[in-house]
Structure 1
Amino acid sequence: MRSARPLEIDLTARARIRDAAIAVFGEQGFSTGVRAIAAAAGVSPALLNHHFGSKKQLREECDAYVLDIVRETKSDYMRNPTPAGLLTALAEIEVFAPVIAYIVRSYQSGGALARSLFERSVADAEQYLAEGVAAGTIRSSRDPKARARYLATVGGGGLMLFLQMHQDNDGKTDFRAALRAYSDQMMLPGVEIYTEGLLTDRMALDTLLAEREKIASTNSDMENQ
């Protein structure tokens, strides 16, 4: 993860509104009105509407910005992983709490915008994994698209479950504390699995590959008939 604080870089009015919207949506959900967002940004509702036109357009820009943070962070590390970079990222992980809260809220809300956010995150994952393969830091895959979708699904689902288990009695989540706990508890086993693997033999993989080849051969024969 890059060390720059992602929500404290651009202090223009438009950026302040966007950053406030990310924080407010993450804390309160997407039913929150534009007046609350404008108040959090320290601007008038009229100025918010001037910059974004509608709440839907504001959310779309928030989606794009959040995905950009994740993509750049992952790409930076895939291209040039270093011990110092990893330790810095772990030390500063709490600064990503507004971004994570926003993503979680989006997936929980469901609907077309949530599906769009997920599909774009899968496409971004495929891109930064490919960059890692090109840089020699990631192993190549027989099916890069499927691998990207798997990692986005498992990573996102696992994080959401972890955060769900860290709600207080009122159903609220301290995302900063939860992210720190997630890093402390999940990082080492996760990196161990991705680095060293889990299974000691190829039986399961070879079985699935043979079955896939058999199905592909059958489909090809049917198409040629």
Structure 2
Amino acid sequence: MAVPPDRDLNTRARIRDAAIRVFGEQGFGAGIRAVATTAGVSPGLVNHHFGSKQGLRATCDEYVSDIILTEKREVLTATGPARMLESLSEIDRYVPLVAYLVRSFQAGGELAASLFEHMVVGVEEYLEAGVAEGRVRPSRDPAARARYLAMQSLGSTLLYLQMHADTDGSVDYARVIREMTDEIMLPALEVYTEGLLADSTMLDAYTHNPPSEERA
């Protein structure tokens, strides 16, 4: 399971990529020494570049979310479906990144919360790019829509992986992510493209009298 290649795979990038693999496979209980061994460097060099395990994880968080969000932006703003089909054909390439994200949100805490907020901002940005390209419909509340979609995507992924774990709790991420993609792509594209409700009755009722106003 290879992380997408870095154009300048210097020592810092090599340690980062090794950490993504190690944390994705072993969880955040894995230590600096395991990362160093995988990267082929000394534990001291890891600390030299990142300061601490916390600093290393923060760097990994930013890199993983940026790679995924950039990929989604490219697919969403492409002029045709070829970019989406290319991405689907290379799904195995992103398995380590998804495994890392799952481990991060399972671990919870301040870094997971920060990672989620970073992803929400990224979702809003690529949706707005899609709006500008005429590929996405505008929203009454772009920030709220971005947060909802991030929650739905991450939540469904975490649930699917949890429901398809082996009896010992381990997950074959490559297999399960391929199966999940095959299972959800058609209904997801159908809902996002054609919608679900046949008319705007419920939307109109909510926007004219939102529950928050009633509670106030």
Name the TM-score, length of structure 2 as normaliser: 0.94
* 1:210 corresponding residue in structure 2: 208
Letter in 2 for 1:29: G
Q: Percent identity?
A: 51
Counterparts of 1:184 and 1:75, CA distance in 2: 21
Counterparts of 1:90 and 1:166, CA distance in 2: 20
Per-residue deviation, 1:6: 4.9
Match 1:7 to one of 4, 9, 14: 4
Q: Per the alignment, in what secondary structure is the counterpart of residue 171 of structure 2?
A: coil
Work out whether 1:189 is the aligned partner of 2:169: no
Residues 95/46 of structure 1: CA separation in 2 closer, same or farther (3 Å cut)? same
Q: Per the alignment, in what secondary structure is the counterpart of residue 209 of structure 2?
A: helix
* 2:137 corresponding residue in structure 1: 139
Per-residue deviation, 1:46: 1.4
* 1:222 corresponding residue in structure 2: none
CA offsets 1:41-65 (integer angstroms, 9 cap, x no match): 1111111111111111111100110
Counterparts of 1:162 and 1:81, CA distance in 2: 31
Runs of 4+ in 1 over 6 A off after TM superposition: none
* 2:169 corresponding residue in structure 1: 171
Residues 51/201 of structure 1: CA separation in 2 closer, same or farther (3 Å cut)? same
Counterparts of 1:136 and 1:103, CA distance in 2: 30
Match 1:120 to one of 114, 118, 125: 118
For the 8 Å contact 2:22–2:35, the answer to whether it is kept is yes
Letter in 2 for 1:125: V
Match 2:160 to one of 156, 159, 162: 162
Per-residue deviation, 1:82: 2.2
Letter in 2 for 1:106: S
Alpha-carbon RMSD: 1.8
* 1:223 corresponding residue in structure 2: none
Per-residue deviation, 1:214: 9.3
For the 8 Å contact 1:125–1:148, the answer to whether it is kept is yes
Letter in 2 for 1:112: E
Work out whether 1:93 is the aligned partner of 2:91: yes
For the 8 Å contact 2:3–2:17, the answer to whether it is kept is no
**Structure 1 spans left out of the alignment, 5+ residues:** 220-225
* 2:70 corresponding residue in structure 1: 72
For the 8 Å contact 1:95–1:176, the answer to whether it is kept is no
Counterparts of 2:110 and 2:47, CA distance in 1: 23
* 1:22 corresponding residue in structure 2: 20
Work out whether 1:63 is the aligned partner of 2:61: yes
* 1:200 corresponding residue in structure 2: 198
Q: Per the alignment, in what secondary structure is the counterpart of residue 210 of structure 2?
A: helix
For the 8 Å contact 1:6–1:69, the answer to whether it is kept is no
Letter in 1 for 2:5: E
**Structure 2 spans left out of the alignment, 5+ residues:** none
Q: Per the alignment, in what secondary structure is the counterpart of residue 59 of structure 1?
A: helix
Larger-gyration structure (1/2):
1
Counterparts of 1:136 and 1:128, CA distance in 2: 12
